Amino acid sequence: MRPGKKILILGVIIGFIICASRIIFLWWEFSSVYQQEVVTLDPWVRKHWNHVKILTDTLNYMQSTKTILLWTTFFGDPNFVPSYSKLGCLFPKCFVTSNRSHLNQSDALIFHLRDINLKDMPTYRTPHQVWILLHHESPHHTPLDLLKQLDGLFNWTATYRSDSEISLSPTLKKKDKEDTHIDNFVHNKKKMVAWLVSNCKTPSNREGYVLELKKTVPIDIYGSCGTYNCLPKMSDECYDTLNKAYRFYLSFENSICKDYVTEKFFRILSTDMVPVVLGGANYSNIAPPNSYIDALTFKTPRDLGRFLLQVAKDEKKYKSYFAWRKTHRLVSEHYVCQICKKLHQPKIKHSTYLNISNWWFHDANCYFWSHNSKGHA
């Protein structure tokens, strides 16, 4: 045989093995679903009939397209999700639309909290339809009166909370293979701490913390609450400029609530500044050790300030805050990809948020920073 032919045959065999293993895996998933189904036929026929049914269902499942309807707009924008093919979701497939004529064929509906109008809700709901509440903000920026009227409507939520079915936060995944070095690492920086901020008075009282921290360590405040400008606003150029000059960046959240962590943290993880965090997330659960410095683990702002000065003087210690890049990488999967994947699971556990304001507000345990102790908001 010629080598070309051998490679071709090998390729066909490998392809066959991959397809077969995929089908067997799905078959196995489905078989546990259909085990309870009673089919009144001759036992021998029933056995084989079941296998055929499982196989056809599996193939149907692999090919089926689920419809996701964007019921509300997103701050007025009706087509707020890019076309499905541009989201970079892996298999399986979904069709995303804002055309309400597809209501009865929709497997899931997305409602953006800020755009919900109670006078404009669907009048018909099919039994298997999943209703999803989308909300990016913290409890401090959530309309309480509206939420109180939404009990018993939603099956899933898409928020930053770790107990939401759909997560809006990127995740730090372990790399399959450890890198041996870190590229393009900027060090030998001259300046200490940068803080880019536009909201000067916040429920977390981060501004009070910074006022204290400034007494120990120099902080350059950019944006409308400070004296420095970083232009164009929020651009990559702006972050690049900060990146070249500063050792640390204050990723301080505007609210201290359970799991509340935003782009302020994730974006800085992709720069060469060390994020100093202040927020309600358990950062040790979402980020690798030594990838950030947590202000709330220090007794006072002064203790944190002293620690930052010490790290800045010690090149080896400073560099250790970037070692995580050898083992982890930042991965963000669009929430529509997650919804699509979940809709294709053969077993969808039924669930409903019966007391959604209690879940959202009470379970969030929000508080604010103060000199003496944590105050409750």
Ligand X SMILES: *[C@@H]1O[C@H](CO)[C@@H](O)[C@H](O)[C@H]1NC(C)=O
The binder of ligand X chosen from 99, 117, 229, 320 (CB under 6 A): 99
* Burial category of 109 from C-beta neighbours within 10 Å (exposed 0-12, middle 13-18, buried 19 and up): buried
The vertex-248 CA angle with 246 and 250, nearest 5°, equals 120
Q: Determine the 3-state secondary structure of 289 from DSSP.
A: coil
Going from the C-alpha of 262 to that of each of 17, 87, 168, 259, 362, the distances in angstroms are 42, 21, 9, 10, 20
Closest to ligand X by CB, 137 or 151: 151
Closest to ligand X by CB, 72 or 243: 72
Query: Rule CB under 6 A: is residue 152 a binding residue for ligand X?
Result: yes
Query: Rule CB under 6 A: is residue 351 a binding residue for ligand X?
Result: yes
Query: Rule CB under 6 A: is residue 250 a binding residue for ligand X?
Result: no
CB of 87 to ligand X, least distance (A): 20
Strand-pair partners of 256: 367
Query: Rule CB under 6 A: is residue 284 a binding residue for ligand X?
Result: yes
The binder of ligand X chosen from 282, 290, 320, 370 (CB under 6 A): 282
User: Hey, what amino acid is at 23?
Assistant: I
CB of 209 to ligand X, least distance (A): 18
Query: Which residue out of 137, 165, 212, 263 is catalytically annotated?
Result: 137
The vertex-87 CA angle with 83 and 88, nearest 5°, equals 135
Start-to-end C-alpha separation, the chain: 77
Please confirm, yes or no, whether 263 is among the known catalytic residues.
Answer: no
Closest to ligand X by CB, 138 or 357: 357
Rounded distance, CA 96 to CA 259, Å? 29
Binding mask 107-146 for ligand X (x = CB under 6 A): -----------------x-----x----------------
Rounded distance, CA 130 to CA 344, Å? 12
Tally of CB atoms within 10 A around 119: 4
Active-site amino acid positions: 137
**Contact positions vs ligand X (CB under 6 A):** 99, 101, 103-104, 124, 130, 151-152, 155, 282, 284-285, 348, 350-352, 355, 358
